[in-house]
Chain A
Amino acid sequence: MKKEKKAADGALTAKKGKLTDTSLLLIITVAVFFVMYIGAMVFLQKGFLKPQTFFNILNANAALIITACGMSLVMITGGIDISVGGVVALVSMCCAVYLDFMGGNVFVSIIIALAIGLAFGAVQGFLVAYLDIQPFIVSLAGMFFARGMTTIVHTAPFNVENEAFVALKGTRITVPGMGTVNKLGKYVNAYVEIGVIVALLIVVLLFCMLRWTRAGRNFYAVGGNRQSALMLGINVKKTRFFAHLLCGILAGIGGYVYFLHVGSGSASHASGMEMNAIASSIIGGTLLTGGVGNIFGTFVGVLSLSTIQNIVSSIGLDQAWWTGITVAAMLCIFLVIQSVLLARKK
């Protein structure tokens, strides 16, 4: 039988199977991203040669990076959270209403964002981990609730004019040593927004957490085999709760970063963001079955996703539908590659 077969070529695979699944998928993701970006620089040139193009990708996707990181955490434990897009919209709307209609200050608005994220994370985490309800259903309800609440808080979209906030929103951090000479012959420094710094910090922090802390390793164990993790002495419920809680908080932070980027409240904000977050995680090498994934991969996944969109629109396919089709095609290719690779390994 299978197991006897495995016993026989056990010695073989011991030498061959040097990489863990996580590292293998990460390498593929990073390689694809570099090939794609360098290819664009060589063949398309235009904008891709300007550093600012790259930083604009970061500026536009800081919020997605943060929410996708949260998504990856949950996916590594074998769950899913499709409420993140809704939470982002709700956070933007609440903060916008607070800042403009209630004359609030920026600091408190950040607390509000965190509190909303925390509340969603805690409730969903409790339902998933302690009542053992399927994460898909729980977060589906979470998404409905967040989207519904957003319109209940305020219906019409509007721009925030709070001075302190506008100042914060406009803050640009120059990237030393990077810049281009513009049409007028003036040297312009490349810049990033505050959100990007937050996103990068979060990526580094989460990467370290997953790699070196006990809690992080428990995520992988729980995602790999929940029953086994329990038998190995891991508090599975706490771990799953913690993952959903973190994802909620990250959705809150992501919501604020999104809000900072767009500077307005609207019920249609961040629509489909949960799907982009899932897609980025998958392209970044996270398996929805759990136990395999890497935060750095997710980061590269987000970059790949928006790079391909940039490439498509810069080669002239700028009708609205091409974006959707390209993203889907990319997702499809990655899924098939992963599936074939992992199947061959077994």
Chain B
Amino acid sequence: MADKKKTMGSGVTAIFRKQIFIPIAALLLLAVFNLIMDPSFFEISFGYNSAGHPVLTGNLMTILDYGSEVAILAIGMTLVTAASGGQDISVGAVVAIAGSVILRVLVGLGGDGTLQAPIIVGFLAACGAAMLCGAFNGVLVAVFKIQPMVATLILYTAGRSIAAWINNNELPSVTDETFTYFGGFIPGIPVPTPFFIAVVCIVIALLVLKFTNLGLYTQAVGINAESSRLNGLNPTFIKWLTFVILGLCVAVVGLIKTSRLSTINYSVIAKDIEMDAILAVALGGNVLSGGKFNIMASILGAYVIQFLTTTLYKFQVSSDALPAYKAVVVIVLVVISAPAVKEKIAAWGKKVKAQKGDA
């Protein structure tokens, strides 16, 4: 019954507009709020960092910087959500694994911090490891038909332990300066590098969606796997593929995260980032039970979440208490966008109109 109500009369274009509308509205709301409370929020200042390179600093830069991590994950998470109708909650733990692999390859056990291998080799190894984890999740979900949240619970539980085990619980650190570029600044470019990495990822994702059928296939599989199979698709493979793609995204974030510190803290790195990534998908107005998706909306959702986080920091909220405020915002957002509430509001609006008409 709800289906009928939802779909009747509103074409896909209208849905699209509605969908991207949610994150945009949230973004505007936050922007206006900050503008009223303290316009200095938007100030960007020019300075030099500790390495003596020119950098731009300010809240907006922070948002671009840290929001990019979530945005990259949101790309993969959106695809996983669309195809499998569930979410991968192991991304934070797999970021730890990827980071650990990078350090193991670059520095090695008991190393003095000098590079033992080119950074690209470390990154490729991390890609391999993270995609392997994705493939493992993918097999459980696609072949054994275990619900994604439960299947990924396995790596969620074991991931950080595995990461610690890879480096035998040592905390190798990289002294090479070029390694800090990925999570910091490239000399001469005042905008944080993670933003450029995110842009590259987004462009690649959009190109892939434009020049392949990945979008159509994942949506078809997510909506009705059996009829997709009878149309010649291989739902098992496509679901599996989305997890592997997410693995790739995770590896990129692993590089950024380890680069920020030049070392790793197994229990803290990328903690709760899976929640932010899932929230980004939800904020983008994508249905978490799979099917149709809009990847740009998810990416925008990721930056909105970082916008919110930065705003809260600005108001002296401690990082531990942050989740409480985030939760309130999330609840308000989902309640407003819930179909049941929308209907009520629409009915109420009609009533008011009718009363005005009578008068």
Q: Cβ of A178 < 8 Å from any Cβ of B?
A: no
Q: Cβ of B288 < 8 Å from any Cβ of A?
A: yes
Q: What's the interface size class on A, roughly?
A: 35 or more
Kindly list chain B residues whose C-beta atoms are within 8 Å of the C-beta of A194: none
Complex CA distance for A149 and B323, rounded to whole angstroms: 8
Complex CA distance for A327 and B157, rounded to whole angstroms: 7
Q: In B88-134, which residues have CB < 8 Å from any A CB?
A: none
Q: Cβ of A151 < 8 Å from any Cβ of B?
A: yes
Residues 281-308 of B, flagged 1 when their CB comes within 8 A of A and 0 if not, give 0100000110000000000000000000
Q: Which of the candidate stretches A7-15, A27-35, A137-145, A180-188 sits at the interface with the other chain?
A: A137-145
Q: Which of the candidate stretches A160-168, A240-248, A274-282 sits at the interface with the other chain?
A: A274-282
Q: B340 near A289 (CB under 8 angstroms)?
A: no
Q: Cβ of A147 < 8 Å from any Cβ of B?
A: yes
Kindly list chain A residues whose C-beta atoms are within 8 Å of the C-beta of B150: 278, 282, 288, 335
Q: In B250-294, which residues have CB < 8 Å from any A CB?
A: 275, 278-279, 282, 288-289
Complex CA distance for A278 and B160, rounded to whole angstroms: 18
Residues 320-346 of A, flagged 1 when their CB comes within 8 A of B and 0 if not, give 111111011101100110011001000
Q: A130 near B340 (CB under 8 angstroms)?
A: yes
Complex CA distance for A67 and B13, rounded to whole angstroms: 44
Q: How far, in Å, is A120 (CB) from chain B's closest CB?
A: 11
Return the chain B residue nearest A86 by Cβ.
Answer: B323
Return the chain A residue nearest B166 by Cβ.
Answer: A321
Secondary structure at the B interface, as helix, strand, loop or mixed, is helix
Question: How many residues of chain B get a CB closer than 8 Å to chain A's CBs?
Answer: 47
Kindly list chain B residues whose C-beta atoms are within 8 Å of the C-beta of A327: 157-158
Q: Cβ of A133 < 8 Å from any Cβ of B?
A: yes
Q: A131 near B341 (CB under 8 angstroms)?
A: yes
Chain A positions within 8 Å of B, measured between CB atoms, are 80, 127, 130-134, 136-138, 140-145, 147-149, 151-152, 155, 267, 272, 275, 278-279, 282, 288-289, 319-325, 327-329, 331-332, 335-336, 339-340, 343
29 A–B contact pairs at CB < 8 A? A127-B335, A132-B2, A132-B338, A137-B288, A137-B334, A138-B334, A140-B278, A141-B328, A141-B334, A145-B324, A145-B328, A149-B324, A151-B320, A152-B324, A275-B153, A278-B150, A278-B153, A279-B157, A320-B161, A324-B160, A328-B154, A328-B155, A328-B157, A329-B154, A331-B154, A332-B140, A335-B150, A335-B154, A339-B144
- Given A131-B341, A148-B323, 18 other A-B residues pairs in contact with their CB atoms under 8 A: A137-B278, A137-B330, A140-B279, A141-B326, A141-B330, A144-B330, A151-B318, A152-B324, A155-B318, A321-B160, A321-B165, A324-B158, A325-B158, A328-B157, A331-B154, A331-B157, A335-B140, A343-B145
